[in-house]
Structure 1
Amino acid sequence: MSPVLDVPRELAEPAERGTLTIGHGVVRKVAQHAADQVPGTARDGGKGAKAKVSGLDDDVDLALDVALRYPAPVRRVAGAVRERVTEEVERITGFHVRTLAVTVSGLRPDVPPRVR
């Protein structure tokens, strides 16, 4: 119902409503954010995970580069990153994650703040 006219508003057929295009830049940002949310990952100098996206149509291939907190269990955290990123990309974008490569580029120690 339209609040102004109090009459039902009919929607056009789905094919006539237009299109939605989700760019690879959006998929990249979703993947990076999801990877940074996994416990055990580290933001390197304020920068989080880096992602590359390729693929066609609704299938994407992802390559992630992440740093982990030392002494995080590398295999377990990398597996959690893979799971979280796949779930989030598929949930938010509707794309199917065909492949996901995770590269652990560094281990960062938990450093307490220098100033108290």
Structure 2
Amino acid sequence: MSPALDVPRQLAEPAERGTLTIGHAVVRKVAQHAAGQVAGTAREGKKAPKAKVGGQDNDVDLALDLALHYPAAVRAVVGDVRARVAEEVEGITGYRVRSLAVTVSALVPDSASRVR
């Protein structure tokens, strides 16, 4: 180890350290990933969760479009999605989820159907 690494560093005051900006594209990816982790949501291909992000400063507005597996308890799954997405976005980005609109656009069978 070099001697320079052994010396404790003095951090600048918080206001002097600079800024951190997390782009809406990152928030969108976090929301989509979190929604896809909830049991009952379709996670692959064209049916994977899609998100749109708006808002400014530390408040974000999210709009999710989901496909759920059939049969699914739609209200229960959407409630779980709302909780998971808000928790993940706020925990990872530090942004407050001001609104979260969820649209269930499709119900897909649990397994691929076979043609005979």
Letter in 1 for 2:107: L
Letter in 2 for 1:73: A
Cα shift at 1:106: 0.3
Verify the 8 A CA contact 1:68 1:108 in the aligned structure 2.
yes
Identity of counterpart residues, as a percentage?
Answer: 72
Q: Which residue of 2 aligns with 1:92?
A: 92
The change in CA–CA distance for 1:82 and 1:3 in structure 2 (over 3 A counts) is farther
Q: Which runs of 5 or more residues in structure 1 are unaligned?
A: none
Q: Which runs of 5 or more residues in structure 2 are unaligned?
A: none
Q: Which residue of 2 aligns with 1:65?
A: 65
Q: TM-score, normalised by structure 2?
A: 0.89
Q: Which residue of 1 aligns with 2:101?
A: 101
In 2: Cα distance, 1:75 partner to 1:52 partner? 21
Q: Which residue of 1 aligns with 2:3?
A: 4
In 2: Cα distance, 1:80 partner to 1:99 partner? 15
Letter in 1 for 2:96: H
What does 1:1-116 align with in structure 2 at a 5 Å threshold? 4-5=3-4, 6-45=6-45, 47-111=47-111
In 1: Cα distance, 2:30 partner to 2:44 partner? 18
Number of residues of Structure 1 aligned to a counterpart in Structure 2: 113
Q: TM-score, normalised by structure 1?
A: 0.89
Cα shift at 1:13: 1.3
What do you get for the CA RMSD once the two structures are aligned?
Answer: 1.9
In 1: Cα distance, 2:47 partner to 2:64 partner? 13
Letter in 2 for 1:38: V
Letter in 2 for 1:35: A
In 1: Cα distance, 2:72 partner to 2:62 partner? 23
Structure having the higher helix fraction is 2
